[in-house]
Amino acid sequence: MPATVGSYLVAIAKHDQSRVAQAEQHHFGSSLRWNCAGHGRRQTLGKIPVLGLAIAFVLTSDIYGANLHTWDNKLPGLIAQRKVALAMEMLYVVGSGLVWISVLLFYRLMCFRSISRGFMAAIWISIYSVVAYSPVFVVVIYVSCQPLNDFWNQINPVWEATHHWKCYNEPVHIIVATIIALIQDVVATTLPAILCWNLRISPREKVA
């Protein structure tokens, strides 16, 4: 009789463990599906400004004469180029920010059950930096000239000579934005390499 009771208790314990494992697997699967759906939505959202940026490239090159030498352009085309350039700067900041947020959240989705807290913290710090960087630079671009139409009117020599205007240092802004974006690119592309370094493969394969 004791052996029978013991076997019965062991069977109950195994059954409970099996149910717990199935519940965890179901929860993980549901969470994975939900996160994958969210990742797809984020990718779609990021495609909107990227598509707008591609359209802007075509407009400024084929319609407004950006593919021509400055002296071969007419003033209306140069003004239109400046307007499109302003839109392109904003689209680039927003589009690249959304793309990197999507990539970083995808890292979190794929690895959140098997990576260290430090790696997860690095992912979230990178996400927060992108979230902070994007709107700040959009605002800076928007207030670059007051009023805003000075941004494209300054290309007109007559207007420039007859009006008092003040705009920010555009080359410095572009350089700073590029440096910050480059740092974010390096961090985001290096994070997966850290995971690969712990794999049981040869050092040559890790470097490759």
Domain boundaries, the chain: 1-42, 85-205
According to the per-residue pLDDT averaged within each range, which of 28-42, 61-75, 76-90 is highest? 76-90
Containing 34, the helix (H) or strand (E) segment is helix 2-58
The span from the first CA to the last CA of the chain, in angstroms, equals 63
Quote the pTM value: 0.68
Containing 44, the helix (H) or strand (E) segment is helix 2-58
CA distances to 9, 18, 25, 75, 119 from 22, in Å: 20, 6, 5, 69, 28
Answer yes or no: is pLDDT of 29 > 70. no
Predicted confidence (pLDDT) per residue in 94-153, tens digit: 888 888 888 888 887 766 566 677 778 888 888 898 888 888 888 888 888 888 888 999
Radius of gyration for the chain, computed over Cα atoms and rounded to the nearest angstrom: 27
